[in-house]
Amino acid sequence: MSSQPQPMVRPAAFTALGLSAAYLNTDVISGSRARAAKMRAAGVRPLGGAEAANYMARVAQELRQQTAGIGIDVLQLPDGVLVRVPASMTFDAGSAAIKPQIDATLTEVARTLKNYNRTYIDVLAHTDTSGTPTGNLALSQKRAAAAATFLGSRGVAKARIASKGLGEAAPLYPAESDETQKAANRRLELRLVPYRG
């Protein structure tokens, strides 16, 4: 893909922080009961108990292969997979328009999500602490909605997708002592949770 973004340079001490954060380990956006009704209406088959772990492992493996070397993290959660995209790759400062440079990569991610359709997809957007909390929340909501719309426009069933902006409420680095930490806090996340019916 010629339009693929350049790899993000990671700080030497980078670790995949925040996997135990409460927002990643709660029910899906809008609740699993309401979302399951939409999935049933869309004709999506639920996963069985043992089947779910293998299914999610295959999803994670394919996503890792697609995004290798460009600075996108694909992380295993206790009940799902998290795709973490730095906002510097997806949005300009203060903007909710997805950058053209990431289009090809997000289109490939959408293809995998379309093929592995037995998951809920929560689109979560975050900001750093620059600006006001109210402004940051509004910006993150617009970014999450833009990413959800993008996935839907690439063939991912809208019944599977919900979006939420968290503003500055769920930072990877609470203190933000430098620009590297601020950049890490500005991110887009796709949380994939198995649909069990």
DSSP 30-70: T-HHHHHHHHHHTTPPPPPHHHHHHHHHHHHHHHHHHHTTT
d(CA 88, CA 73): 14
**Predicted pLDDT of residue 195:** 96
In this predicted model, what pLDDT tens digit does every residue of 51-94 receive, in sequence order?
Answer: 999 999 999 999 999 888 888 899 999 889 999 998 778 888 88
Which residues, in sequence order, are CB contacts of 156 under 8 Å at separation 6+? 110, 113, 114, 117, 121
All structural domains of the chain with their residue ranges: 22-194
The predicted pLDDT at position 150 comes to: 96
- Specify the residue for token string 């996108």: 72
Chosen CATH of 22-194 out of 3.30.1330.60, 1.10.3720.10, 3.90.230.10, 3.90.226.10:
3.30.1330.60
**pTM for the model:** 0.88
Share of the chain above pLDDT 70, in %: 90
Q: Each residue of 118-144: pLDDT tens digit?
A: 999 999 999 988 889 999 999 999 999
